[in-house]
Structure 1
Amino acid sequence: MTMAAELLPQTVASIKPLEILCAEKPAFVCAPMVRYSKLAFRNLVRIYGCDIAFSPMIMSDSFVKSQKARDSEFTTNAADKPLIVQFAANNAADFACAAELVAKWCQGVDLNCGCPQRWAQQEGIGACLINKPQLVFDVVRQTRNRIADTDFTVSVKIRVHKDIRETVELCRRAEAAGVSFISVHGRTITQRREPVDREAIAAVAAAVRVPVIANGDVRTLQDALSTAESTGAKGVMAAQGLLNNPALFSGAEFTPLSCVRDWLRLATDTGTPFTCTHHHLIYMLERQLPRSLRRTFNVLPSHAAVLEFLRDQLGLDV
């Protein structure tokens, strides 16, 4: 695992996600996104109003067994807090061991119960766990018993069932196990682009005492605020909306050029590979560029070519 030298455990412990989630205003959260919600991007969205950020989903079994996996999958620095590290697991032991490995360097861990991909369900991870309430209970309970710090959070991120009563029962069992908060994506396992079911999220929020984070269809600050109001959620999580506009939570309608400049600086500082840096810029500039220029930008082959394009087409001096 790669941590900045100045990131001390006691410094990390001073940031408490539950205090943020219990504040008067809704907490703004960056969702776990495979390939995308890595260190530099988490640093970026924090500049623009994001209160809590999740890591991408990490496979707990390989993380526990392999130092190489730990070094490649988890990096952080002094600015990267509060941080929730999300793990995929099909057993409680792997998840609890993985949680112990990162506990000094983050503020909580999260169990992925929402990934709908077929490969994930074949591995017994992701969204199939919403139909395994005893396993979710065991994961939360074992991890909660393993880590003594009561400020350290153990959470779950779920999708909803067709019958919301099943979702409510799952969440109540997780609460009984000691879960700190629950993130609810308001779609079922089979749904992709259908409108998010805010009523389902509201039903969960009303049924449990722990904070609930609402996830889905958050593309603007107004979306975030209306989602919180209509669901009773203590936090609102965005994924695609933040990819397209990392300044979403600040109220910007689309990615400001200052955000593009900050991204290039942070990507360089953290050693982000060109491919990842470029992919993020493709998302960020979608509304800044006409289609013809997007075609050109999207196939640029190098960092130098990107900088030249930004200078010539957008007047961005970087």
Structure 2
Amino acid sequence: MGPRSANRTEPSRMLPRRLAPLLPNSRLLFRSLNPSLAMSPADAAAAHLTTAPDPDEDICPSPAASAASGAPAAPEEIAPPVPTPLPPPPASAEERVERAWAHWRRLGSPRLVVAPMVDNSELPFRMLCRRYGADAAYTPMLHSRIFSENEKHRDMEFTTCKEDRPLFVQFCANDPDILLQAAKLVEAHCDYVDLNFGCPQRIAKRGYYGAFLMDNLPLVKSLVQSLSENLCVPVSCKIRIFPRLEDTLAYAKMLEEAGASLVAVHGRTRDEKDGKKFRADWDAIKAVKDALRIPVLANGNIRHMEDVKSCLQHTGADGVLSAEPLLENPALFAGFRTKEWKEDGNEDGDGGLDPADLAIEYLKLCEQYPVPWRMIRSHLHKLLGSCFRVHPQVREEFNAQTKLTFEGLHDMVKRLKELGGGIPLYRDQTSLQSQIVSNGLAASNA
């Protein structure tokens, strides 16, 4: 499957949509608080949204709009959704399962999915991955309370467009009422509202969300039930596994019974944070798939299309998620692979996808869909990592820049391209055949 670049709308017509202000005076309220006294540890990661002067926290302007008016273009707002009548509650567990599969199939049974990544699965990157084969994507994790209360946070962290579908909007939460308030703001603009039960990081422990809710399954159940009973869009859950398989299966079944329409399983435990050190347990994912009656996605060890094929065969899952490998190779789902993963002796095939070209594509998407500069800086470090290793002086110059501009970034990428030395991506016949086979496997599971 090749890049999805044909028949695309002109940039001027593809403005990102942001949520319109729904809670008056929330920004003034947040500015009046003393962050050191009023913010809990869970809010520490978002404190920069109201206090930090760092230029990287500013949203990048559209160059075309800036040239025309001398000021950044105002993003197209997403109007508050018109209330939609809730569907009647399912009469039985069988009907709930039928609805879950009917929705999945209406979306085209997406198989190749961009996983949620903090500051890294924002709209421009999602659109880049969609050009190169991704069937669906998650937003970064959104903090439900801050999202529901803070207009600036909503404007900065959640943007979308009509081409950005199917879309999972992911929240972390530990209060069913606050979670529902946040979810109601996005339900008209996505295909699933997703609950993050998988984040293993220290901030999640301090804030009491993510994988640390695995110790409180009644709360987990109440969060899922609150959404499934009050949203017009289906609820999905992204989880990690327990050390004991029987606990994992009981957990997954509880989510299904609580109203989840899809479960994505990261095949590592909460303590297995290092994906390079710990291999994902595909046997556990297979056991969950066999135990549930709703769609199940597999997460872990997906570095290229050969892994997609192997994972679908091993687990029987309905699709796969990939996270960090996409940061270096957004064309993964189009069959491209990085040189480090090239099989010994396999010198045939189509090389020729320069990481600098992907960086240029990404920058142009950021010009269409403005995001905070910090996200752009992070992505360029990943996309151009092989180039920076060969030319560390360019990386040092990039790191020293306190204020980024598109003109300067394009010049830097052009310079790296002229200097050469970056590791190209390639696509060989094996990758293409794997993609075809994986598509057939996923279709057979639908």
Scaled by the length of structure 2, what TM-score is found?
Answer: 0.64
Q: Deviations over 1:160-208 (max 9, x none)?
A: 1000111110110111111011011111111123111111111111110
What does residue range 203-282 of structure 1 map to in structure 2 within 5 Å? Answer: 203-254=287-338, 256-257=354-355, 258-282=357-381
Q: Is contact 2:112-2:134 (8 Å) kept?
A: yes
Offset of residue 59 of structure 1:
0.7
Q: Identify if the C-alpha distance between structure 1 residues 114 and 292 changes in structure 2 by more than 3 Å, giving closer, same or farther.
A: same
Q: Is contact 1:62-1:69 (8 Å) kept?
A: yes
Offset of residue 299 of structure 1:
3.7
Q: Is contact 1:22-1:211 (8 Å) kept?
A: no
Q: Identify if the C-alpha distance between structure 1 residues 276 and 6 changes in structure 2 by more than 3 Å, giving closer, same or farther.
A: closer
Equivalent residue for 1:120? 204
Unmatched 5+ residue regions in structure 2?
A: 1-16, 20-74, 83-101, 339-352, 420-446
Q: Distance in 2 between matches of 1:294 and 1:201?
A: 41
1:35 aligns with 2:119: yes
Q: Deviations over 1:90-118 (max 9, x none)?
A: 12112222111111111111111111112
Offset of residue 294 of structure 1:
4.3
Q: Which moved more, 1:176-185 or 1:93-102?
A: 93-102
1:311 aligns with 2:397: no
Unmatched 5+ residue regions in structure 1?
A: 11-15
Equivalent residue for 1:89? 173
Q: Distance in 1 between matches of 2:264 and 2:222?
A: 18
Q: Is contact 1:84-1:108 (8 Å) kept?
A: yes
Q: Is contact 2:304-2:333 (8 Å) kept?
A: yes
Equivalent residue for 1:283? 382
Q: Distance in 2 between matches of 1:246 and 1:100?
A: 31
Offset of residue 131 of structure 1:
2.6
Offset of residue 267 of structure 1:
1.1
1:169 aligns with 2:268: no
Q: Is contact 2:266-2:299 (8 Å) kept?
A: yes
Q: Is contact 1:220-1:248 (8 Å) kept?
A: yes
Q: Distance in 1 between matches of 2:121 and 2:323?
A: 9
Q: Determine which structure has more spread, i.e. the larger CA radius of gyration.
A: 2
Match of 1:156 among 224, 237, 242: 237
Q: Distance in 1 between matches of 2:219 and 2:256?
A: 13
| One-letter identity of the residue aligned with 2:312 | A
Q: Is contact 2:211-2:239 (8 Å) kept?
A: yes
What is the RMSD of the two structures over their aligned residues, measured on CA atoms? 2.4
Q: Distance in 2 between matches of 1:59 and 1:238?
A: 22
Equivalent residue for 1:79? 163
Q: Identify if the C-alpha distance between structure 1 residues 222 and 295 changes in structure 2 by more than 3 Å, giving closer, same or farther.
A: farther
1:2 aligns with 2:88: no
Sequence identity percentage: 36
- Partner of 1:205, secondary structure, is helix
Q: Distance in 2 between matches of 1:299 and 1:275?
A: 16
| One-letter identity of the residue aligned with 1:2 | R
Q: Distance in 1 between matches of 2:195 and 2:155?
A: 20
Structure with larger RCO (C-alpha < 8 A, sep 6+) = 2
Matched pairs, number: 305
Q: Identify if the C-alpha distance between structure 1 residues 221 and 294 changes in structure 2 by more than 3 Å, giving closer, same or farther.
A: farther
Q: Distance in 1 between matches of 2:393 and 2:199?
A: 31
1:19 aligns with 2:105: yes
